[in-house]
A and B are shown apart, each in its own frame.
Chain A
Amino acid sequence: MARILMKGNEAIAEAAIRAGAEGYFCYPITPQSEVAEYLAKRMPEVGGVFLQGESEVAVGNMLFGAASTGKRVFTTSSSPGISLMQEAISYIAGAHLPVVFVNIMRAGPGLGGILPAQSDYFQSVKGGGHGDYRLLVLAPSTVQEAVDLMMLAFDLADKYLNPVMVIGDGLIGQMMEAVEFPDSDPKQNRVNLEERKWAATGAKGRDPVIIKSLFLDPLELEENSLLMDKKYEQMKKEEVRYELYKVSAKNELLVVSYGTVARICQTVIDELESEGVSVGLFRPITLFPFPEKEIYREAKKKNIKTVLTVEMSTGQMVEDVERAIIGAKPVKFFGRTGGIVPNPEEIQGKVLELIGSMKKRSTSSRKRK
Chain B
Amino acid sequence: MAMTQSNTAIFSRPESMQSTVTHYCPGCTHGVIHRLVAEAIDEIGARDRTVGVAPVGCSVLAYNYFNCDFLEAAHGRAPAFATGFKRLRPDMIVFTYQGDGDLASIGMGEIVHAANRGEKFTTIFVNNAVYGMTGGQMAPTTLPGQVTSTCPVGRNANEVGYPIRMAELLSTLVTPGYIERVAVHTPKHIINARKAIRRAFQYQAENRCYSMIEVLSTCPTNWGKTPEEAVKWLDKEMAAYYPIKCFKDSVREGNK
Interface residues of A (CB under 8 A from B): 22-23, 25, 49, 51, 53-55, 57-59, 61-69, 71, 73, 87-88, 91, 95, 200-205, 208-214
Is B77 interfacial (CB 8 A cutoff)?
yes
Q: Which of B3-11, B66-74, B182-190, B206-214 contacts A (4 or more CB under 8 A)?
A: B66-74
| Most chain A CB inside 10 Å of its own CB: which residue of B47, B77, B84, B85 | B84
Q: Is there contact, CB below 8 Å, between A202 and B48?
A: yes
Among A53, A65, A95, contact of B53 (Cβ-Cβ < 8 Å) = A65
**Neighbouring A residues of B109 by C-beta, 8 Å:** 54-55, 57-58
B58 located at the interface, meaning its Cβ lies under 8 Å from any Cβ of chain A in the complex:
no
User: How many whole Å from B60's CB to the nearest CB in chain A?
Assistant: 6
Supply 18 further A-B pairs (C-beta < 8 A) apart from A202-B68, A210-B69.
A53-B80, A58-B83, A61-B73, A61-B110, A64-B73, A64-B74, A64-B77, A65-B81, A65-B82, A65-B85, A66-B88, A68-B71, A87-B77, A202-B50, A203-B47, A208-B68, A208-B69, A212-B72
Question: What are 6 A-B pairs with beta-carbon distances under 8 A?
Answer: A53-B83, A62-B81, A64-B73, A64-B84, A202-B51, A210-B63
B113 CB within 8 Å of chain A: yes
Query: A25 contacts which chain B residues (CB < 8 A)?
Result: 84
Contact of A211 among B47, B60, B71, B84 (CB under 8 A): B71
B48 engages A58 (CB within 8 Å): no
The number of residue pairs between A and B whose CB atoms lie closer than 8 Å in the complex comes to: 124
Contact status A23-B84, CB under 8 Å: yes
Residues of chain B touching chain A, judged by Cβ–Cβ distance below 8 Å, are: 47-51, 53-54, 60, 63, 66-74, 77, 80-89, 92, 109-110, 113
Q: Tell me the complex Cα distance, A66–B72, Å.
A: 13
| A58-B49 in contact given A201-B69, A212-B63 (Cβ < 8 Å) | no
Closest chain A residue to B63, Cβ basis:
A210
Which of the residues B63, B67, B84 comes within 8 Å of A62, measured between beta carbons? B84
By the criterion CB–CB under 8 Å, are A202 and B92 in contact? yes
- A55 to B83, alpha carbons, bound, how many Å? 13
B74 x A61 contact (CB < 8 A): yes
**Residue in B66, B72, B82, B83 whose CB lies within 8 Å of A214:** B72
Docked CA distance A61–B76 (Å): 10
Cβ contact of A200, chosen from B60, B71, B74, B87, cutoff 8 A: B71
Chain A nearest CB, measured from B75 CB (Å): 9
Q: Do B69 and A202 touch (CB < 8 A)?
A: yes
Give the complex CA separation of A54 and B119 in angstroms.
Answer: 13
> Cα distance A61–B66 when bound, in Å?
22
What's the minimum C-beta distance from B210 to chain A, rounded to whole angstroms? 15
A65 and B73 within 8 A (CB): yes
Contacts of B86 in A (CB 8 A): 65
Contact A73 B84 (CB under 8 A): yes
Question: Which partner residue on chain A sits nearest B93 by CB separation?
Answer: A202
* Known contacts A55-B109, A64-B81; is-contact A49 B63 (Cβ 8 Å): no
Contact A63 B110 (CB under 8 A): no
Question: In the assembly, what is the distance between CA of A308 and CA of B84, in Å?
Answer: 44
- Residues of chain B lying within 8 A (CB to CB) of residue A62: 80-81, 83-84, 87
Task: Kindly provide the distance from the CB of B102 to the nearest chain A CB, expressed in whole angstroms.
Answer: 13
Q: Assess the A51–B83 pair: CB atoms within 8 A.
A: yes
Which chain B residue lies CB-closest to A200?
B69
Q: Which residues of A contact B51 (CB under 8 A)?
A: 68, 200, 202
Q: Is the CB of A69 within 8 A of B89?
A: yes
- B18 → chain A closest CB, angstroms: 8
Whether the Cβ atoms of B87 and A49 lie closer than 8 Å is yes
A200 to B73, CA, bound (A): 14
Contacts of A68 in B (CB 8 A): 51, 71, 81, 84-85
B134 CB to nearest chain A CB (Å):
14
Taking CB atoms, residues of chain A closer than 8 Å to B67 are 203, 208
